[in-house]
Amino acid sequence: ADAPLPAEDVACDDPAERDGIDKIRLEAQLRDALESGTLEVRYQPIYDIRDGHVASYEALVRWNLPGRGPVSPAEFIKLAEETSLIVPVGEYVLERVLDVLVGLRDGGAERLPGIAVNLSARQLLEPGMARQIVGRVQRAQLPAGVLKLEVTESRMLDYAPVHAVMRHCREHGVPFALDDFGTGYSNLTHLHRLDFEFVKVDQAFARHMFDSPRAMAIVEAVVGMAHGIGADVVCEGVETRAQLQRLRELGVRYAQGYLIGQAAPAAEVLSGEAARLGV
């Protein structure tokens, strides 16, 4: 165990340092991807349990790094948040989503599907962010409620500025979902202090409804609570018919998960939508 390490390993024997180098390289590659437009946005359907149709989509960013393969958003979104890259990543996704919606509208769609874009609290608090989002939605002349925002990571939330940003967006027809409710920093205080149209129950709960009575009890309680404050519930991670049926019985409005569909490229979503809407 005490044998000397080969020279090339000695050169980088500090894991923290190696980590730092990897991050710097990945950051540079992400910057390139943004510039060359190689980030992809995929769309996962969100199903309206009540009327049995796909009501909207969640935009999920994808990065396929040449020579390395797909980089998980969990990894590069975290990296982007640690740097300032999360701002251009967010703008990139928003632009793509607005393009899709405008494309559908200009293609003659009578009713546009909603599309939800993920935003971290950090992005939301970026100066001028709310004005920029509202400005883009207005310029695109989209109907109210079509673009939705999902608030993710929200560590050190300073409620007053978040509240102001959310109010401004909402007044201009952009509703909010509280994402990953029940895990991490997505907590009851957010529901208490801020006004969300949707509560997205973290996928861990729906996924374990039938193997954990506790998960089932939590889903039931969250549904009651969300309805009590006038929010609709979206359950993520729905993978089986039994889960969907139980959610229906509980009065959950929306379901998202592999049972309904995985995230797909815009072209597929667009052609599906066009067919569905009789375009």
Instruction: List interacting residues with Ca ion (CB under 5 A).
Output: 118, 150, 179-180
The owner of tokens 């009501």 is 55
Q: Does 182 bind ligand C2E (CB under 6 A)?
A: no
DSSP lists the bridge partners of residue 53 as 48
Using the rule CB under 6 A, which residue among 45, 109, 147, 152 binds ligand C2E?
A: 152
HSE on the CB side for 154, CA within 13 Å?
28
Contacts of 206-213 with CB under 8 Å at 24 or more apart are 206/235, 206/236, 206/237, 206/238, 206/243, 206/247, 206/255, 206/257, 207/237, 207/239, 207/243, 209/243, 209/246, 210/240, 210/242, 210/243, 210/246
Query: How many whole angstroms separate alpha carbon 257 and alpha carbon 6?
Result: 47
Tell me the closest approach of the beta carbon of residue 173 to Ca ion, in angstroms: 20
Which burial class, exposed, middle or buried, applies to 38 when counting CB atoms under 10 A from its CB (0-12, 13-18, 19+)? middle
Integer angstrom CA distances of residue 204 from 117, 214, 244: 21, 12, 14
CB-based closest residue to ligand C2E: 257
Tell me the closest approach of the beta carbon of residue 49 to Ca ion, in angstroms: 16
Using the rule CB under 6 A, which residue among 74, 156, 267, 275 binds ligand C2E?
A: 74
- Output phi, psi for 52, to 5 deg: 70, 30
Tell me the closest approach of the beta carbon of residue 4 to ligand C2E, in angstroms: 41
List, in order, residues 6 or more apart from 92 with CB less than 8 Å away.
34, 39, 61
Using the rule CB under 6 A, which residue among 49, 60, 124, 231 binds ligand C2E?
A: 60
Q: Does 49 bind ligand C2E (CB under 6 A)?
A: no
Tell me the closest approach of the beta carbon of residue 12 to ligand C2E, in angstroms: 29
Q: Does 77 bind ligand C2E (CB under 6 A)?
A: yes
Tell me the closest approach of the beta carbon of residue 248 to ligand C2E, in angstroms: 17
Q: Does 183 bind ligand C2E (CB under 6 A)?
A: no
Give whichever of 109 and 244 is closer to ligand C2E, judged by the CB atom: 244
Tell me the closest approach of the beta carbon of residue 207 to Ca ion, in angstroms: 12
Q: Does 205 bind ligand C2E (CB under 6 A)?
A: no
Q: Does 272 bind ligand C2E (CB under 6 A)?
A: no
Pairing, β 147-151 against β 198-201: unpaired
Q: Does 30 bind ligand C2E (CB under 6 A)?
A: no
Restricting to residues 219-258, which ones interact with ligand C2E according to CB under 6 A? 236-239, 256-258
Q: Does 93 bind ligand C2E (CB under 6 A)?
A: yes
HSE on the CB side for 245, CA within 13 Å?
4
Binding residues for ligand C2E, rule: CB under 6 A, are 44, 60-61, 72-74, 77, 93, 118-120, 152, 179-180, 203, 236-239, 256-258, 263
